[in-house]
Amino acid sequence: MTLSATPLTDSMLRAWLPPRARASHKGDYGHVLVVGGDHGMAGAVRLAGEAAARTGSGLVSIATRAAHAAVIAAACPELLCHGVECARDLRVLLQRASVVAIGPGLGQSAWAHDMLAAVLQMRLPRVVDADALNLLAQEPMQCDHWVLTPHPGEAARLLGMTTKQVQADRLQAAQALQQRYGGVCVLKGAGTLVCTSESVAICEAGNPGMASGGMGDVLTGVIAGLLAQGLSLVDAACAGVYIHAKAGDRAAQEGERGLLASDVLPHLRKLVNPC
């Protein structure tokens, strides 16, 4: 059955993100663990982690290569950075988290395989992006408690087809991804689609300036941060996609060409406080 897509709107955002209770503390807003950043890719996990923090997660931890931990902590001291070189060390961190995001800068090395395997053993809500999706394409499985965030190339690998075929019918591709892998599928691109087994939402915000490295890492962090605050998988995915796109539009007011993923981060705080 082909579903029609419902546009995301500002009124939805206000419903998803009411004002916070006055008597609250960081424990009320969850603990995101971002896993990734193989050698040479520390920036990806930092972007995702900072996005989760700016979206309102109570705590954000980073599990990355040991060589990266101190550098990321110095750049953003609010992130709790851990050097992780084996699955055993990661499992300790997973036990403290309420949400896990895996994929930013993960790579496809033996280390990456071990990190993903450890995450998949836990029943935490999770956001799966980037190379974690490419690894998943090699060993497909279904899961009800994840959000997958592929761009068209990753979607093509997950479906065993070409990127051109995905783009020729994005709605059908999004539904096929959800049916094959379960959970919530976010098919990124112009007119990002958020697909469940019962509904499809479309984001009409966003701009071509967002076609630059690191934008997907920011989206991963935004969705994980919203999950940590208690939103459902589908609401976190829809709200995250919309907030990310609107932040990109605000950042692009100075011009689309040359827009960086880090330019989006300062706009997240305003957008997650719509009331």
Angle, vertex CA 236, rays to CA 54 and CA 231, nearest 5: 95
Structure tokens at 52: 């989760």
Q: How far, rounded to the nearest angstrom, does the alpha carbon of residue 52 sit from its chain's CA centroid?
A: 9
Residue 62 lies in a domain: yes
Residue 22 lies in a domain: no
DSSP letters along 94-158, please?
HTT-SEEEE-TT--SSHHHHHHHHHHHTS---EEE-HHHHHHHHHS----SSEEE---HHHHHHH
How much is the pLDDT for 266? 97
How much is the pLDDT for 196? 97
How much is the pLDDT for 3? 74
Residue 196 lies in a domain: yes
How much is the pLDDT for 41? 97
- Give the residue numbers spanning the domain of 102: 5-14+27-271
Q: How far, rounded to the nearest angstrom, does the alpha carbon of residue 174 sit from its chain's CA centroid?
A: 16
How much is the pLDDT for 4? 82
- Specify the CATH number for the domain of residue 216: 3.40.1190.20
Determine if residue 21 is left, alpha or beta; phi over 0 gives left, psi from -120 to 50 gives alpha, anything else beta.
Answer: beta
Q: β-strands 126-128, 99-102: how paired?
A: parallel
Residue 20 lies in a domain: no
Residue 252 lies in a domain: yes
pTM value? Answer: 0.98
pLDDT tens sequence for the chain (275 residues) = 667 899 999 999 999 999 999 999 999 999 999 999 999 999 999 999 999 999 999 999 999 999 999 999 999 999 999 999 999 999 999 999 999 999 999 999 999 999 999 999 999 999 999 999 999 999 999 999 999 999 999 999 999 999 999 999 999 999 999 999 999 999 999 999 999 999 999 999 999 999 999 999 999 999 999 999 999 999 999 999 999 999 999 999 999 999 999 999 999 999 999 98
Q: How many CB atoms lie within 10 A of CB 4?
A: 8
CB 265 within 8 A of CB 54: yes
Residues 6+ apart with CB under 8 A from 185: 147, 148, 150, 174, 177, 178, 193, 194, 195, 196
Closest by Cα among 238, 229, 237, 243 to 57: 229
Residue 21 lies in a domain: no
Residue 127 lies in a domain: yes
Closest by Cα among 147, 69, 166, 160 to 103: 147
The count of structural domains within the chain is: 1
CA distance 67 to 83: 7
